[in-house]
Amino acid sequence: MIEQVLPPAVRTAEAFADPDRADDLLFPQEAAHIARRAERRRREFATVRLCARAAMSQLGVPPVPLLPGARGGPVWPAGVVGSMTHCDGYRAAAVVRSSEFTAVGIDAEPHAGLREGVLDLIASASERRHLGELARTAAPVHWDRLLFCAKEAVYKTWSPLTDRWLEFGEVEVSVDPVAGTFQARLLVPGDCPDGRVLTGFDGRWHVAGGFVLAGIAFAASAHPPDPRAE
């Protein structure tokens, strides 16, 4: 399913259940990292890494340990960028050569409304008005959950590009209910090491199998702007 929200160059793998004793399939470094966590967390940690290694194999990249970095996202091998996601009943990973895309962000969520009070924490007044319009005029989608999902994908794209946190209120998302796309406008400066200044991201969304999915693939720049240029 996750391939529906990503370009063909991005390789994906997904799972709808954890294999028996999935954590036995981890590298020793990974097993040590997750050893003290609850069994459920160990299973999802392991399965999503099995997905990541399956996706990397499609690029011809050998399996390696995938440990979380400073911001929580996985540290990928040289020449590869990617993203992982997991929720109840679903795990997925997406990877691509860094020569083709600079960053990838994916998220999957149960296709159900957000818990009471969550929308007020993640959405601006204009986003809440936008969701109201979608609810009146568009297909029966849990638009509040889609907004949350899109913002998670935005963060997973932003973080490796900037090495900074991004709060829910620092990005504003608008959804095209017909095209299955969304646009994310950044409300804070985003400077990339290659000199580009981030202003936003374009992504895709999809609902299937009881899940809502969002994905962003940020293209590599063949000719990044010179930060010294006026």
On whether both 85 and 162 belong to a single domain, the answer is no
pTM value is 0.91
Do 67 and 154 lie in a common domain? no
Domain end position, chosen among 106, 128, 148: 106
Residue tagged 């993203």 (tokens): 83
> Amino acid identity of 215?
G
143 lies in some domain: yes
Task: Answer whether residue 20 shows pLDDT above 90.
Answer: no
pLDDT in tens, 217-228: 998 764 333 333
Q: What is the pLDDT of residue 230?
A: 33
Q: What does the pLDDT average to over 187-194?
A: 81
Are 132 and 167 part of one and the same domain?
yes
Q: What is the DSSP string of 196-217?
A: -EEEEEEEEEEEETTEEEEEEE
Structural domain includes residue 230? no
Both 60 and 117 in one domain: the answer is: no
Residue type, position 169, single letter: G
**pLDDT band, residue 21 (cuts 50/70/90):** confident
Domain, as residue range, for 7? 2-106
**Positive or negative: CA dihedral 177, 183, 186, 192:** positive
For 134-182, what is each residue's pLDDT tens digit? 999 878 899 999 999 999 999 999 999 998 899 999 999 999 999 999 9
For position 6, which CATH number holds?
3.90.470.20
Exposure on the CB side of residue 34, measured as CA atoms within 13 A? 25
* CA nearest to 225, candidates 200, 195, 199, 187: 195
Is 221 part of a structural domain of the chain? no
